[in-house]
């Protein structure tokens, strides 16, 4: 496995680049906007193709690199289902898997620092975001933070992982890079409490100043969605209400770009083909399925919220396949428009 811990010294943020091998798909956790050039350079050096950019939660201390990475690499942006970010390509829930080629992380909902905080567990290690830090825990006094929920997330979820599980947090301000669950159980001063009430009391009396970047970072991180308008202005989008009228027409090929787990959870549009977004490049290439399909039919892409499908339309147009469009707003908009769903 390729594993790189990257540091932004301005915000004290750790970002993590993960891939199964050289030449494979990669994902990055908690990228920082100012470091995007560095990440892209490193991925080129390692011959990696970024498929997913993931935030553990909506950050208050730095602007996320999710939007910039998506715009530059057409990767899928991923956050938890509770996020207040306007649009991400894919939302995960507790118990889901965060998958790329050869790597599968377990998604654990760990609210407390914020109400959209998630941790991601991979075999011998766990990415804890700001829920569990090295010898600390994330503050719980803004962004719908909740010390009681955090106690539950830490004691009843994260600390139940094996003691030798490596802990990789989203931040460190002291120079530590990694810890273990067992070490934090024994040595983290915030965890040496007898009960939840004692923890709540401790967390509610920290009296920390707000992060310097908070007034900039939070609003910026809530508006990271792809500008789907730009795709629509070129005539490459159909509104969900109009797309319903296309259903069953022989000249139309509906193509679902979501993953299997999303289809199972949220249902599908009847009659749609399933071609997951990470396969797009191959599918649009010479001999690719979508290239062949595009010669005889009008391809209508859709996904969860319209991001992957908007990027797919752009990629198809660039590949010379011009009879394509997408459903703006994805299956979320389709459902809102009363379109039929197959479970």
Binding site for Fe ion (CB under 5 A): 130
Give the separation between CA 199 and CA 195, rounded to whole angstroms: 7
* Residue among 77 and 114 whose Cβ is closer to Fe ion: 114
Q: Least CB distance from residue 147 to Fe ion, whole Å?
A: 15
Q: Least CB distance from residue 157 to Fe ion, whole Å?
A: 17
* Residue among 130 and 256 whose Cβ is closer to Fe ion: 130
Q: Least CB distance from residue 64 to Fe ion, whole Å?
A: 11
Q: Which residue is nearest to Fe ion (CB)?
A: 130
Give the separation between CA 22 and CA 57, rounded to whole angstroms: 28
Q: Least CB distance from residue 215 to Fe ion, whole Å?
A: 15
Q: Is 163 left (phi over 0), alpha (psi -120 to 50) or beta?
A: alpha
* Residue among 130 and 146 whose Cβ is closer to Fe ion: 130
Q: Least CB distance from residue 60 to Fe ion, whole Å?
A: 6
Give the separation between CA 65 and CA 62, rounded to whole angstroms: 9
* Residue among 5 and 41 whose Cβ is closer to Fe ion: 5
* Residue among 116 and 262 whose Cβ is closer to Fe ion: 116
Query: Contact at 8 Å (CB) between 149 and 64?
Result: no
Give residues with Cβ within 8 angstroms of 2, minimum separation 6. Answer: 17, 18, 19, 20, 21, 22, 24, 26, 46, 48
Q: Give just the sign of the alpha carbon dihedral 136, 141, 147, 149.
A: negative
Q: How many residues does the chain have?
A: 343
SS3 label, residue 76: strand
Q: Least CB distance from residue 179 to Fe ion, whole Å?
A: 18
Q: Least CB distance from residue 54 to Fe ion, whole Å?
A: 14
SS3 label, residue 121: strand
- Tokens (6 digits) for 146: 């909740």
* Residue among 77 and 309 whose Cβ is closer to Fe ion: 77
SS3 content of the chain, % helix, strand, coil (to 5): 35, 25, 40
Burial of 258 (0-12, 13-18, 19+ CB in 10 A): buried
* Residue among 136 and 306 whose Cβ is closer to Fe ion: 136
Give the separation between CA 222 and CA 79, rounded to whole angstroms: 12
Q: Least CB distance from residue 61 to Fe ion, whole Å?
A: 6
Beta strands 2-8 and 13-19 are antiparallel
* Residue among 62 and 74 whose Cβ is closer to Fe ion: 62
Give the separation between CA 261 and CA 329, rounded to whole angstroms: 19
């Amino acid at each position: 496995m390729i594993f790189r811990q990257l540091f932004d010294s301005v915000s004290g943020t750790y970002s993590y680049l993960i891939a199964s091998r050289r030449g494979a798909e990669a994902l990055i956790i908690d990228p920082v906007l100012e470091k995007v050039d560095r990440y892209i350079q490193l991925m080129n050096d390692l011959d990696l193709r970024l498929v997913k950019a993931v935030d553990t939660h909506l950050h208050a201390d730095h602007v996320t690199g999710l939007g910039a990475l998506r715009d530059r690499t057409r990767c899928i942006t991923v956050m938890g289902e509770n996020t207040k970010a306007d649009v991400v390509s894919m939302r995960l829930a507790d118990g889901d898997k965060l998958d790329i080629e050869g790597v599968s992380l377990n998604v654990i909902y760990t609210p407390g620092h914020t109400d959209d905080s998630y941790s991601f567990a991979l075999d011998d290690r766990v990415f804890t975001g700001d829920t569990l830090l090295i010898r600390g825990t994330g503050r719980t006094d803004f962004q719908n933070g909740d010390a009681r929920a955090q106690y539950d997330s830490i004691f009843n979820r994260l600390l139940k992982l094996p003691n030798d599980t490596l802990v990789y947090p989203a931040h460190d301000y002291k120079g530590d890079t990694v810890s273990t669950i067992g070490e934090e159980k024994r040595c983290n001063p915030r965890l040496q409490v007898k009960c939840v009430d004692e923890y709540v009391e401790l967390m509610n009396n920290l009296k920390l100043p707000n992060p310097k970047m908070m007034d900039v970072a939070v609003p910026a991180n809530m508006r990271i969605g792809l500008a789907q308008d730009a795709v629509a202005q070129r005539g490459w989008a159909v509104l969900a209400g109009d797309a319903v009228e296309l259903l069953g027409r022989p000249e139309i090929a509906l193509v679902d770009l979501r993953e299997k787990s999303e289809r199972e959870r949220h249902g599908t549009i009847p009659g749609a083909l399933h071609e997951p977004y990470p396969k797009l490049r191959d599918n649009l290439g010479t001999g690719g399925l979508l290239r062949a399909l595009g010669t005889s039919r009008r391809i209508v892409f859709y996904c969860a919220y319209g991001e992957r499908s908007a990027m797919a339309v752009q990629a198809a147009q660039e590949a010379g396949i011009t009879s394509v469009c997408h459903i703006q707003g994805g299956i979320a908009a389709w459902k809102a428009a009363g379109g039929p769903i197959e479970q």
